[in-house]
């Protein structure tokens, strides 16, 4: 059964990962356009910042394959140590970079390079934490335990937002104040490494090692579980886009397009993350009680219906409605999908290639949809003359695709992780 050290080590790692990513997204929305890109059109600067944000996601699939392979071949524990270290050092390095005004074009080049390294390290961080906790948890409460790395995600986002909000109040924010949150990432890395060195390896993985490990787990999961992989891809791709539109793009939209103070978007992110921390284990308990599919499908359907009202509330420009809209959309509905998807992903794949399966499903879709989502949203709003209806429509389409994917998924609540998954044969012409 899972022990507190395993859970703590998993949660702190995902907290550091999403602290780093949320921090980069916040800085891309507020300060990177002026610090790292040539002066000129505000739209060009914003698109440049979001392009740098998206580039990091291109490295995540490679990191997912590489570290997923190591996780299934060498072990869950050592892989999680390496990913945490690489990710944290890259983030701290961003805080030490010279600006465009100091070194010219070298500044955005170095920014993108560190973003790529950050993304490479993050390519299997959450996947590994999720697999480690799922494999060491009480099967009757696996939905709850598997949700806890997701709570770590929200802790990371909340911490990043609070720290970044605090430094925006500094008179020297635009000169050196914005750098402090990036350097502070080293604190979380130190704590995370201390905890991870102390945890044991997954017993389920050790039993699989004794039977003989897969030589090429990434290829094996694609060959033996194509249906599970397709379901995971189709569920995660649109979900990731939704999450990053609400977390990153909306912050830029309310400041650049609606002209509201940056603190409005930041407060919205703080409250939605705070609500999400509480909601995540509750949705995990619900997934244990009624199943993974009902929780995900219900949240996706409600999000589809709420997309237009959410942006109507945002477009009023009233701070309280903006904050309420983001809190309901992200803190409740997106988190309901995220929590149910966590245990579902871990239960879809065999132990021999579980790490690779989860990492590939998450990170290849992240490169295709999550990273580019804020950039695409910004371009759509620009093309629509500042109107938000294309974004609401985009969220509806994403929610519908994710809903359809999980509709075809099996209910995995009672699955024994030590047993091999037997997929039904893929029929010619089948949708999934």
Q: Which pLDDT value is given to residue 45?
A: 63
Q: Which pLDDT value is given to residue 295?
A: 97
Which class for 356: exposed (0-12), middle (13-18), buried (19 or more C-beta within 10 A)? buried
Question: 335 and 279 in contact (C-beta within 8 Å)?
Answer: yes
Q: What share of the chain is helix, strand, coil (3-state, %, to 5)?
A: 80, 0, 20
Q: Which pLDDT value is given to residue 168?
A: 85
- Alpha-carbon dihedral sign for residues 432, 58, 250, 187: positive
pLDDT-based confidence at 429, cuts 50/70/90? very low
The answer on pLDDT for 38 being more than 70 is no
Q: Which of 253, 267, 273 is nearest to 376 (CA)?
A: 253
Residue of 412 and 32 predicted with greater confidence: 412
The pTM (predicted TM-score) of the whole model is 0.84
The answer on pLDDT for 172 being more than 90 is no
The answer on pLDDT for 421 being more than 80 is no
pLDDT-based confidence at 425, cuts 50/70/90? low
Average pLDDT over residues 95-102: 86
Least confident of 10-14, 49-53, 204-208, 394-398: 49-53
Buried b / exposed e over 366-391, threshold 16 CB at 10 Å, is bbbbbbbbbbbbbebbeeeeeebebb
For 1, 139, 153, the CA distances from 4, given in Å and listed in that order, are 10, 16, 18
Tokens of 39: 């002066």
Rounded-to-integer distance, Cα 8 and Cα 203, Å = 17
H helices then E strands: how many in the chain?
21, 0
- What stretches of 316-348 show up as alpha helix (H) in DSSP? 319-326, 335-348
Percent pLDDT > 90 in the chain is 41
Rounded-to-integer distance, Cα 136 and Cα 32, Å = 41
Residue 384's φ and ψ, nearest 5 degrees, are -95, 15
Average pLDDT over residues 137-159: 89
**Domain 4-200+226-407 classified CATH 1.10.3720.10?**
no
Q: What is the pLDDT of residues 364-413, one digit of tens each?
A: 887 788 778 888 888 888 888 888 899 999 999 999 999 999 999 999 99
Percent pLDDT > 70 in the chain is 94
Q: What is the pLDDT of residues 274-323, one digit of tens each?
A: 999 999 999 999 999 999 999 999 999 999 999 999 999 999 999 999 99
Q: What is the pLDDT of residues 69-97, one digit of tens each?
A: 999 999 988 999 999 999 889 999 999 99
**Cβ–Cβ contacts within 10 Å for residue 49, how many?**
30
Residue of 299 and 165 predicted with greater confidence: 299
Rounded-to-integer distance, Cα 372 and Cα 359, Å = 19
pLDDT-based confidence at 42, cuts 50/70/90? low
Residue of 49 and 277 predicted with greater confidence: 277
The answer on pLDDT for 108 being more than 50 is yes
The answer on pLDDT for 187 being more than 50 is yes
| Domain extent listing, the chain | 4-200+226-407
70-74 contact pairs (CB < 8 A, 24+): 71/124, 71/127, 71/128, 71/131, 71/355, 71/356, 71/359, 72/213, 72/214, 72/217, 72/352, 72/353, 72/354, 72/355, 72/356, 73/213, 73/214, 73/217
In angstroms, what is the C-alpha Rg of the chain? 20
Q: Which pLDDT value is given to residue 125?
A: 86
- What stretches of 76-184 show up as alpha helix (H) in DSSP? 76-94, 100-103, 106-122, 125-135, 142-168, 180-183
Q: Which pLDDT value is given to residue 431?
A: 39
Rounded-to-integer distance, Cα 15 and Cα 159, Å = 9
Average pLDDT over residues 115-134: 87
Q: What region, left, alpha or beta, does residue 212 occupy, with left being phi > 0 and alpha being psi -120 to 50 degrees?
A: left
pLDDT-based confidence at 34, cuts 50/70/90? confident
Average pLDDT score, the chain: 87
Q: Which pLDDT value is given to residue 100?
A: 78
Q: Which pLDDT value is given to residue 432?
A: 36
pLDDT-based confidence at 39, cuts 50/70/90? low
């Amino acid at each position: 059964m899972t022990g507190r050290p395993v859970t703590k080590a998993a949660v702190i790692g995902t907290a550091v990962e999403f602290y780093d990513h949320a921090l980069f997204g916040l800085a891309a929305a507020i300060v990177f356009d002026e610090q790292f890109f040539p002066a000129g059109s505000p739209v060009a600067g914003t698109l440049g910042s979001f392009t740098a944000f998206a580039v990091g996601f291109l490295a995540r699939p490679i990191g997912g394959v590489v570290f997923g392979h190591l996780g299934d071949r060498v072990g869950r524990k050592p892989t999680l140590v390496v990913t945490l270290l690489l990710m944290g050092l890259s983030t701290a390095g961003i805080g030490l970079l010279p600006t465009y005004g100091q070194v010219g074009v070298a500044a955005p080049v170095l920014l993108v390079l560190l973003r790529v390294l950050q993304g490479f390290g993050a390519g299997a961080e959450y996947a590994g934490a999720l697999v480690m906790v799922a494999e060491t948890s009480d099967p009757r409460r696996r939905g709850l335990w598997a949700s806890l790395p997701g709570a770590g995600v929200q802790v990371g986002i909340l911490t990043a937002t609070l720290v970044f909000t605090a430094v925006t109040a500094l008179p020297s924010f635009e000169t050196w104040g914005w750098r402090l949150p990036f350097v502070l990432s080293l604190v979380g890395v130190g704590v995370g490494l201390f905890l991870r060195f102390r945890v044991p390896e997954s017993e389920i993985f050790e039993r699989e090692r004794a039977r003989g490990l897969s030589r090429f787990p990434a290829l094996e999961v694609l060959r033996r579980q194509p249906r599970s992989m397709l379901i995971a891809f189709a569920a995660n791709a649109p979900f990731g886009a939704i999450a990053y539109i609400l977390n990153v793009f909306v912050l830029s939209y309310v400041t650049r397009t609606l002209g509201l103070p940056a603190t409005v978007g930041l407060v919205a992110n703080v409250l939605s993350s705070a609500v999400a921390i509480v909601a995540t284990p509750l949705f995990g308990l619900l997934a244990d009680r009624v199943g993974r599919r009902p929780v995900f499908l219900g949240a996706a359907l409600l999000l589809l219906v709420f997309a237009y009202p959410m942006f109507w509330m945002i477009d009023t420009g009233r701070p309280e409605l903006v904050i309420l809209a983001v809190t309901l959309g992200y803190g409740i509905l997106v988190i309901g999908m995220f929590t149910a998807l966590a245990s579902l992903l871990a239960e879809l794949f065999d132990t021999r290639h579980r790490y690779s399966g989860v990492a590939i499903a998450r990170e290849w879709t992240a490169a295709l949809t999550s990273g580019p989502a804020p950039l695409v949203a910004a371009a759509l709003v620009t093309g629509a003359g500042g109107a938000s209806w294309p974004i609401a429509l985009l969220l509806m389409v994403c929610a519908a695709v994710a809903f359809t994917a999980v509709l075809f998924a099996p209910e995995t609540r009672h699955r024994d992780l030590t047993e091999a998954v037997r997929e039904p044969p893929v029929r010619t012409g089948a949708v999934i």
